[in-house]
Structure 1
Amino acid sequence: MSERKKPLVIVTRKLPDVIETRMMELFDTRLSTDDHPMTAAELAEALRVATVVVPTVTDRLDATVLSHAGPQLKLIANFGNGVDHIDLKAARERGIMVTNTPGVLTEDTADMTMALILATARRLGEGERLIRAGQWTGWGPTLMLGTRIWGKRLGIVGMGRIGQALARRARGFGLSVHYHNRHRVHPEIEQELEATYWESLDQMLARMDIISINCPHTPATYHLLSARRLNLLRANSIIVNTARGEVIDENELTRKLSKGEIGAAGLDVFEQEPAVNPKLMALPNVVLLPHMGSATIEGRQDMGEKVIVNIKTFVDGHKPPDRVIESMF
């Protein structure tokens, strides 16, 4: 690299220090100084001058923004697994490769999903708010009664890496594992997880105590849990989403939660994030988190290392290991 000009790499958000330091050593790197989400104009300027752009989920790289890309831009090395914020077709048409960081956040996200299941079932958010408000007057036999999860049925929507990791955790908590997926998983995996496959999502939803959303956001999964499908859920059911907010009709979910037609929800993602429906925030039977399902020090560093490997292999004239193919999403 020292014998030739280093590629200009523009990073849109603040990354872990160890990752930023290594990127500075390897590339001609421009870092984010204040960690603000870039505007469309700032993204357009970055695409105009950079050889490689490193965006995150907060950067909307649609066809209009990508139209500003200069001829030297050949790689978008996404910091994250999901790429629904990038117009893959527009990138491909402009000869821009897209990479992501799969696999490294599986365990972290599965941990958070399990945590949300427990938090919603046992009303942890409500209990914590009661303490902070100074309204707790002492233990009572009927105070803050939640729901036991042992013996309940968990329906996993999306049995990829995270869905399978969640299933392994769920078995330890005595949950019966069910799943719906675009394709049925291998029989050995199904047997290991003791998981029941449902070809019909509708049929599964109507029979579960807990629903976990673990599928990516694609045109096919937008409002996968539509108003009609939310209507199938039991009145005391729990729904947890650590995937993407767009997979659920959030307005209808809010309405049904407020009317007691769905028991509770644990949400780490939102349809219009960072904006959250004020009606949703006012509900006591909802646990809300700021998209922190993958937020561990180890996970963020692993993501950054994958980004560096993808850039380095690309610059060296090889195919990056984590190329994104449109048909994958």
Structure 2
Amino acid sequence: MAKIVCVLYDDPVSGYPSKYARDDLPQLDGYPDGQSLPTPKAIDFQPGTLLGSVSGELGLRKYLEAQGHQLVVTSSKDGAGSVLERELHDAEIIISQPFWPAYMTAERIAKAPRLKMIVTAGIGSDHTDLQAAMERGVTVAEVTYCNSNSVAEHVVMMTLSLVRNYIESYNWVIKGGWNIADCVARSYDLEGMNVGTVAAGRIGLRVLRLLKPFGVKLHYMDRHRLPESVEKELNVTHHGSLESLTKVCDVVTLNCPLHPETENMINARTLAGFKRGAYLINTARGKLCDRDAIAAALESGQLAGYAGDVWFPQPAPADHPWRKMPHHGMTPHISGTSLSAQARYAAGTREILECYFEGRPIRNEYLIVQDGKLAGVGAHSYSAGNATKGSEEAARFKQ
């Protein structure tokens, strides 16, 4: 029997839903690059329901208990007295989501002598100390592509919200006002602007495709250059450095993974190279940006706006400066956990578990670490090392 500890976010404050706004989800045939959708042997949930919160359990309980395994589901993940800490001693598998990450530091991995696998129900495994996982021989896997399009749609929404000054205009309505001049004094057209993505992988490339019809000039920076045919199709300009990209772009969107090479890549020095009044969208990872430098750039006007849904740590403490800085469009980490995305990452998690327990290979595109080294998509996207330092601050969220 294996113990699986699954860390999920809390149920809605109004209680787990008894009904939903829509009755079903559109059926997808596959992902744009030809990768197949998750292929578990079965699922024990209704697509379109809330699976990522504690009561949803990722739809895993029936399957795991039928196999004789123990499933512990909790939202208590931070601090020495958390349920996660108490259950580490004999846990074989840890599952969590990027939106409510179980920070698997080297210290926690050391407290889990039976640990064999860490699974991200979603995309992004930076909340695990990958170096420690490699040294301990722990497999790290994630459900690649499951919510890439979900995040890309969120990027487009936030781009338009900032450029058109939607959030502040909406707030005038809530306050009972009709202050048109106040609304439009910071409102522009996106058309004709230069828009650049840092990284043009699954999410970044989707962002470029979604924004092309707006009549913008597209740019990207990536260590893996897009095929020439794609560059011509999108009429997109490649940049070899962050500085080259940011000095010409009116909107910059971050779509790269977090690892030691990208940590704090947006800082006071690099922000000074942005066009004055540029907009920055970050739905990748909060730690890509220096927290205080972002707030200072909004205060000074070097940035006209900052939006995103990723923070560090997560959940963000109540005194996190991004909560109160001017001209921001921050939300909790929600871009990749729409009900549509949840159906895919819950199914993908089930697929990974089926492979593990049946001794079958896990898909190469789901692997981050295996056999003591970066593997699969991890070898393509990550570098060895640790990006979890400072995650203990998440314990301050409820204090």
TM-score by length of 1: 0.90
Contact 1:11 1:29 in 2 (8 A): no
Q: Report the counterpart of residue 110 of structure 2 in structure 1.
A: 67
Contact 2:277 2:303 in 1 (8 A): yes
Distance 1:8 1:154 in 2: 47
Q: Report the counterpart of residue 60 of structure 2 in structure 1.
A: 20
Q: Report the counterpart of residue 169 of structure 1 in structure 2.
A: 210
Q: Which amino acid aligns with 1:181?
A: D
Q: Which amino acid aligns with 2:306?
A: A
Distance 2:148 2:347 in 1: 16
Q: Which amino acid aligns with 2:239?
A: W
TM-score by length of 2: 0.75
Contact 1:45 1:68 in 2 (8 A): no
Residue 112 (structure 1) aligned to one of 148, 154, 177: 154
Residue 8 (structure 1) aligned to one of 3, 11, 24: 3
Contact 1:43 1:65 in 2 (8 A): no
Q: Give the unaligned 5+ runs of structure 2.
A: 10-50, 383-399
Q: Which amino acid aligns with 2:116?
A: K
Contact 2:246 2:274 in 1 (8 A): yes
Matched, 1:259 2:300: yes
Contact 1:79 1:307 in 2 (8 A): yes
Contact 2:165 2:184 in 1 (8 A): no
Matched, 1:298 2:293: no
* Cα drift, residue 277 of structure 1: 5.6
Q: Cα deviations across residues 57-91 of structure 1 (Å, max 9, x unaligned)?
A: 321111111001133x3222222211111112222
Q: Cα deviations across residues 134-179 of structure 1 (Å, max 9, x unaligned)?
A: 3x13655984550100111101001110000000001021111100
Q: Which amino acid aligns with 1:37?
A: K
SS of 1:32's equivalent in the other structure is strand
What are the residue-to-residue correspondences of 1:86-101 with 2, within 5 Å? 86-101=128-143
Distance 1:207 1:62 in 2: 38
* Cα drift, residue 275 of structure 1: 2.6
Note closer, same or farther for the CA distance 1:200–1:93 as it changes in structure 2 (3 Å cut): closer
* Cα drift, residue 112 of structure 1: 0.2
Note closer, same or farther for the CA distance 1:254–1:277 as it changes in structure 2 (3 Å cut): farther
Q: Which amino acid aligns with 2:112?
A: A
Q: Cα deviations across residues 253-272 of structure 1 (Å, max 9, x unaligned)?
A: 11111111221111211233
Q: Report the counterpart of residue 26 of structure 2 in structure 1.
A: none
Mean CA deviation greater in 48-57 or 145-154 = 48-57
Matched, 1:214 2:255: yes
Distance 2:93 2:323 in 1: 39
Distance 1:263 1:95 in 2: 45
Distance 2:344 2:192 in 1: 35
Contact 1:40 1:65 in 2 (8 A): no
Contact 1:12 1:37 in 2 (8 A): yes
Residue 77 (structure 2) aligned to one of 25, 37, 46: 37
Distance 1:276 1:239 in 2: 23
Identity %: 23
Distance 2:155 2:318 in 1: 19
Contact 1:159 1:185 in 2 (8 A): yes
Q: Report the counterpart of residue 245 of structure 1 in structure 2.
A: 286
Q: CA RMSD in A?
A: 2.2
Q: Which amino acid aligns with 2:285?
A: R
Note closer, same or farther for the CA distance 1:133–1:69 as it changes in structure 2 (3 Å cut): same
Note closer, same or farther for the CA distance 1:47–1:319 as it changes in structure 2 (3 Å cut): farther
Contact 1:243 1:269 in 2 (8 A): yes
Mean CA deviation greater in 268-277 or 84-93 = 268-277
Q: How many residues are aligned here?
A: 321
Mean CA deviation greater in 20-29 or 59-68 = 20-29
Distance 1:40 1:199 in 2: 44
Q: Report the counterpart of residue 324 of structure 1 in structure 2.
A: 368
Mean CA deviation greater in 88-97 or 152-161 = 88-97
* Cα drift, residue 191 of structure 1: 2.3
SS of 1:85's equivalent in the other structure is coil
SS of 1:217's equivalent in the other structure is coil
Q: Report the counterpart of residue 272 of structure 1 in structure 2.
A: 313
SS of 2:303's equivalent in the other structure is coil
Contact 2:105 2:128 in 1 (8 A): yes
Q: Cα deviations across residues 15-55 of structure 1 (Å, max 9, x unaligned)?
A: 4436234544554242425x333545543443321222212
Note closer, same or farther for the CA distance 1:29–1:303 as it changes in structure 2 (3 Å cut): farther
Contact 1:270 1:276 in 2 (8 A): no
Contact 1:266 1:286 in 2 (8 A): yes
Q: Which amino acid aligns with 2:110?
A: S
Distance 1:165 1:277 in 2: 34
Distance 1:142 1:314 in 2: 54
